[in-house]
């Protein structure tokens, strides 16, 4: 083979190799392009899928807000009837199919998925864009007469890009909801600066401080302020720990010491009207629901306006008081010199209590609401004398939108002896002060959210005198109007 032939052979091989290289690179480019296209589609699918979830959750949040505003809220269909829960679902797919079938009653969707009509009934707070959420009624009637109560469940569904679209991504959620329950973990919890003096004592029942182990286990009547100690007393005692978010520890003796620069603790923001529930079954025997109105009348509990019911007092009998209460118009105040058992909702007025009817313990719950147009003359509770009251509603003794002042000689026996003269949770929306000789078994919370009334001066929540607070760790408070999700599931 001569040199010229060898060169021609090498040139042919090079061309073949170049062609093979081009073919291989083209194949790889096709593979990469195909994979990129698939990944783009997958990413788009994933984004739509995630978007549908977020939209469904937003619809559910809007429905929870509606339930919080009205605990009896249910959604309605095109005929104005509340949706009812299906009796039995074979599985989650059947439950999801039932939820999506509700669209057939309310939406008109054309071929490309565009919504062309929505019923007026559905538009009233039920449909938001490409998502909807409902709260149906239970399928099992309860009560006498038998009714179907609002279910403690919310269904939400969404579609991206839209319901009826051939490539829509649909998500269906089921949320179990319930009233929030608050367990007071402190004997005293306040947003206000705390003033603790005199010979006041905060006790834990069964406190044993003989060893460190027994002390930590049994001495748990803790006190916390989200601000600072305005004043403290060496003679005061806390059978638990003290914590303060601002400032330094007080000189008060605390069995489990004191923590400075502690984390702030949430004080639930609640109002008297949150607990307006005349139909409650939680009243203690011998107590009844009574509305004390700012026009000087006593009226029964009604499901709407607290003071829209029939007038019970004053009447033609000439009685000067009703269940120990009398009206003092010049002070915009309801005063009880001899209070009797009852759950008393005081609408837009103040309260003064000076004693109980006889020497027996009465079941009493006070819910005192503040008038937005008269904040300095309504919403407060002033207790003196020697009343004996324990909660008529579950663990709820006093909720006042404004101030609470407890003075006088409200005690029974010595400090830690049962029964206490006052028993239950005490909540002040503004300020709190107690002096004198007072015994309370329960807990105290002070929100300090305003300084409108001035029955108690601001810049302190005060516990003084020979106040004895025995902390009850077994109490709880259903926070009406505040709902939480207890279970979340995708169908």
Length in residues, the chain = 491
> Would you place residue 274 in the very low, low, confident or very high pLDDT band (cuts 50, 70, 90)?
confident
CA gap 321, 365 in Å, rounded: 19
| 107 Cβ contact list (under 8 Å, min separation 6) | 115, 117, 118, 122, 163
Between 168 and 46, name the one with better pLDDT. 168
Helix (H) or strand (E) holding 237: strand 237-238
- Please determine, for residue 116, whether its predicted confidence score (pLDDT) is greater than 60: no
Strands of the sheet with 127-128, listed across from one edge: 127-128, 131-134, 153-160, 169-182, 477-490
| 333 Cβ contact list (under 8 Å, min separation 6) | 327, 349, 350, 351, 352
CA gap 354, 339 in Å, rounded: 8
- Please determine, for residue 322, whether its predicted confidence score (pLDDT) is greater than 60: yes
Please state the rounded mean pLDDT for residues 469-477. Answer: 88
Between 204 and 18, name the one with better pLDDT. 204
Q: Which two tokens stand for residue 209?
A: 């401080």
Query: What is the reported pLDDT for 348?
Result: 97
> Mean of the per-residue pLDDT values for the chain?
81
- Please determine, for residue 42, whether its predicted confidence score (pLDDT) is greater than 50: no
Report the predicted TM-score, pTM, of the whole model to 2 decimal places. 0.72
Counting Cβ atoms within 10 Å, is residue 244 exposed (0-12), middle (13-18) or buried (19+)? buried
24-30-33-39 Cα dihedral, nearest 10 degrees: -100
> Would you place residue 51 in the very low, low, confident or very high pLDDT band (cuts 50, 70, 90)?
confident
- Residue-wise pLDDT for 388-409, tens only, equals 999 999 899 999 999 999 987 7
- Residue-wise pLDDT for 236-262, tens only, equals 889 999 999 998 998 888 999 999 999
- Please determine, for residue 9, whether its predicted confidence score (pLDDT) is greater than 80: no
| 454 Cβ contact list (under 8 Å, min separation 6) | 376, 403
- Residue-wise pLDDT for 442-453, tens only, equals 999 999 999 999
- Please determine, for residue 29, whether its predicted confidence score (pLDDT) is greater than 90: no
Please state the rounded mean pLDDT for residues 59-84. Answer: 74
Residues 187 and 443: beta-carbon distance below 8 Å: yes
Pairing outcome for strands 229-232 and 194-196: parallel
- Residue-wise pLDDT for 163-208, tens only, equals 767 777 888 899 888 877 888 899 999 999 998 888 888 999 889 9
- Please determine, for residue 104, whether its predicted confidence score (pLDDT) is greater than 70: no
In terms of Cα–Cα distance, which of 459, 482, 487, 419 is closest to 175? 487
What separation, in Å, do the N-terminal and C-terminal C-alpha atoms of the chain show?
79
Beta bridge partners of 154: 175
Q: What is 146-173 written as a DSSP string? A: TB-PBPSEEEEEEEES-TT-TT-EEEEE
Please state the rounded mean pLDDT for residues 378-382. Answer: 97
Integer CA distances (angstroms), 181 to 263, 475, 478, in order = 22, 10, 5
Between 37 and 282, name the one with better pLDDT. 282
380-386-387-391 Cα dihedral, nearest 10 degrees: 90
- Please determine, for residue 81, whether its predicted confidence score (pLDDT) is greater than 80: no
Phi first, then psi, for residue 350 (nearest 5°) are: -100, 170
Pairing outcome for strands 258-260 and 242-244: parallel
pLDDT over 70 for what percent of the chain?
Answer: 77
Integer CA distances (angstroms), 438 to 191, 300, 391, 414, 433, in order = 22, 32, 16, 10, 11
């Amino acid at each position: 083979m001569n040199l010229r032939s060898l060169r021609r052979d090498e040139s042919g091989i090079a061309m073949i190799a170049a062609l093979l290289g081009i073919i291989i690179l083209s194949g790889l480019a096709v593979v990469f392009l195909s994979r990129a296209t698939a990944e783009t589609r997958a990413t788009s699918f994933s984004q739509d899928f995630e978007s549908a979830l977020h939209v469904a959750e937003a619809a559910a949040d809007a429905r929870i807000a509606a339930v919080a505003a009205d605990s009896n809220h249910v959604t309605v269909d095109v005929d104005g009837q509340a949706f009812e829960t299906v009796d039995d679902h074979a599985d989650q797919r059947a439950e999801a199919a039932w939820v999506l079938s509700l669209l057939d009653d309310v939406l008109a969707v054309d071929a490309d998925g565009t919504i062309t009509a929505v019923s007026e009934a559905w538009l009233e707070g039920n449909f938001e864009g490409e998502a909807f959420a409902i709260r149906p009624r239970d399928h099992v009637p309860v009560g006498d007469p038998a009714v179907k109560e609002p279910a403690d469940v919310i269904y939400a569904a969404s579609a991206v890009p839209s319901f009826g679209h051939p490539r829509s991504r649909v998500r269906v959620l089921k949320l179990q909801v319930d009233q929030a329950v608050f367990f007071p973990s402190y004997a005293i919890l306040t947003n206000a600066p705390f003033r603790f003096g005199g010979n006041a004592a905060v006790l834990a029942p069964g406190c044993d401080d003989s060893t460190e182990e027994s002390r930590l286990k049994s001495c748990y009547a803790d006190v916390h302020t989200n601000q600072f100690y305005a004043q403290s007393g060496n003679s005061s005692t806390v059978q638990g720990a003290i914590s303060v978010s601002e400032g330094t520890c007080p000189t008060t003796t605390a069995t489990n010491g004191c923590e400075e620069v502690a984390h702030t603790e949430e004080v639930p923001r609640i109002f008297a009207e949150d607990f307006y529930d005349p139909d409650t079954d939680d009243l203690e025997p011998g107590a009844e629901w009574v509305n004390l109105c700012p026009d000087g009348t006593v009226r029964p509990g009604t499901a709407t306006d607290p003071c829209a019911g029939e007038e019970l007092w004053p009447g033609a009998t000439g009685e000067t008081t009703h269940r120990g209460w009398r009206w003092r118009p010049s002070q915009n105040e309801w005063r009880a010199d001899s209070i009797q058992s009852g759950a008393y909702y005081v609408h837009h007025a103040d309260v003064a209590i000076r004693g109980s009817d006889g020497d027996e313990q009465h079941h009493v719950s006070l819910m005192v609401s503040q008038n937005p147009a008269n904040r300095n003359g309504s919403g407060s509770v002033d207790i003196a004398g020697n009343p004996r009251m324990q909660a008529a509603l579950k663990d709820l003794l006093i909720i006042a939108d404004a101030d609470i002042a407890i003075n006088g000689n409200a005690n029974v026996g010595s400090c830690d002896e049962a029964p206490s003269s006052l028993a239950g949770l005490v909540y002040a929306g503004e300020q709190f002060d107690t002096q004198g000789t007072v015994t309370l078994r329960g807990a105290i919370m002070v929100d300090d959210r305003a300084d409108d009334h001035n029955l108690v001066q601001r810049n302190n929540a005060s516990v003084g005198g020979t106040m004895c607070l025995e902390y009850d760790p077994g109490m709880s408070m259903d926070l009406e109007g505040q709902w939480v999700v207890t279970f979340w599931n995708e169908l």
